Amino acid sequence: MTTPLITDNLPQGPVTYIILFLFSLNLVFSYPLVLYPAHVIIENRLYAGWKKSRKRQMLKNNSRTILVFLTVCLTILLGDKLDKFLSIVGALTCTPIAFTFPALFHLKACAETTADKVIDISLFLFSMAILVYCTLQGVLNWNHEDEKPLVNYNNVG
């Protein structure tokens, strides 16, 4: 039987433990890099026009702490359904990156003929349909159990 995490399929031994340790270390050190864009966006909105002061610095530190706390709480609350949450977030954020934005950029920057414009608008409408469909599927399947395997390997000979 295989498990979802590739590291669980590795043979047990010292090399596996080193890989798991390095993977965990990578997650610890990359977490601040992942949150940095969110910090910048939040701080630019909250503290626009504030002069540099001790109060501003402490409020920025507090907002960073709150953001980390919220992400940890969200992960704990969604732990068993994290894959479903990520599928919804992926549908909402990756579809525009993959389909919508390229079509709109081409429409604004390069499309000169009517055929180009029709293709770009068609791609845009198609991407919106994909976004709505995939998001709805993720939301509607939120409480459904994961599919059971066709073969139960625990009961086989």
Which tens digits make up the pLDDT trace of 62-72?
999 999 999 88
pLDDT of residue 95: 87
Q: Read off the pLDDT of each residue in 18-36 and give the average, rounded to a whole number.
A: 88
Is the distance from CB of 152 to CB of 1 less than 8 angstroms? Answer: no
Give percent of the chain above pLDDT 70: 87
2 or 7, which is more confident: 7
pLDDT of residue 155: 54
Closest CA to 96 of 62, 117, 124: 124
pLDDT of residue 124: 94
Give percent of the chain above pLDDT 90: 43
Query: What residue spans of the chain are helical by DSSP H?
Result: 14-46, 54-77, 82-95, 101-109, 114-140
pLDDT of residue 66: 93
pTM of the model: 0.57
- For residue 62, the Cα-to-chain-centroid distance in whole angstroms is 24
pLDDT of residue 154: 56
Q: What is the pLDDT of residues 44-93, one digit of tens each?
A: 999 988 999 999 999 999 999 999 999 889 888 888 887 888 888 889 99
- For residue 3, the Cα-to-chain-centroid distance in whole angstroms is 21
Burial of residue 85 (CB within 10 Å: 0-12, 13-18, 19+) is: middle
Q: Would the CA dihedral through 36, 42, 48, 53 be positive or negative?
A: negative
Q: Would you state the structure tokens that stand for residue 61, as one six-digit string?
A: 């530190």
Closest CA to 90 of 127, 125, 130, 135: 135
pLDDT of residue 2: 46
Distance CA 26, CA 33 (A): 11
Closest CA to 64 of 83, 28, 40: 40
